[in-house]
Amino acid sequence: MGKSARTEHRFHPCTSLRSMKRFEFTQKIQKFIDAPHVLGDPSKGWDCLNILREVYTLLGKDFPTEFKGWDADNYAERWKRGEGKDVYREFLFSLGSPVDPAYALEGDLFIFEGAEQLFPGIYLGRGHILMVFAPCDTKQKNRGCKVVPFSFFKKFLIGIRRLS
């Protein structure tokens, strides 16, 4: 048999749809990459909570506006006073439903915990996470929003949640 003049590409319908969704997702989160860390003021930069609210709203996901008296108007001030790590942990684990790491998808919320830090990340797929890094001390430059390999933070993972 001779070759046809037209080359036919056969994609599994789910694969091509998933690739299209991945592209759309990546386009939506571009504005966050390399943005500065600013606690409580999304007009100037992002912190761990307001980036979650913004990204999940862009993705059409339900994201609560209040949790146990914490809301967009008071969380930054309360956080500065040293309140909240336990409430923040409870809040993050109240979002969506749990996901087995083997079944993580783009947009899933990854929750990490370090020595004295609780920090979320948004899974971008292909082993990468979007995270907001606050300066660790006053000498450190503002690190802001970065795309990082999941493998670097894997040992700090304490949960994955999928928002609907």
Report which of 133, 122, 129 is spatially closest to residue 37, judged by C-alpha positions. Answer: 133
Strand partners, 121: 110, 131
Digit-by-digit pLDDT tens for the chain (164 residues) are: 454 444 443 444 444 455 656 667 777 788 888 888 888 888 888 888 888 999 999 888 988 989 999 888 888 888 888 887 788 899 999 999 999 999 999 899 999 998 778 889 999 988 999 998 876 555 556 578 888 999 999 999 999 999 98
Please report, for residues 12, 70, 110, the alpha-carbon distance to residue 91 in angstroms, rounded to integers and kept in the order given.
Answer: 38, 10, 13
User: CATH fold of 14-162, please?
Assistant: endopeptidase fold (from Nostoc punctiforme) (3.90.1720)
Sequence length of the chain is: 164
Distance CA 46, CA 39 (A): 7
Indicate the pTM of the whole model.
Answer: 0.80
Instruction: Tell the burial category of 68 from Cβ atoms under 10 Å away from its Cβ (0-12, 13-18, 19+).
Output: exposed
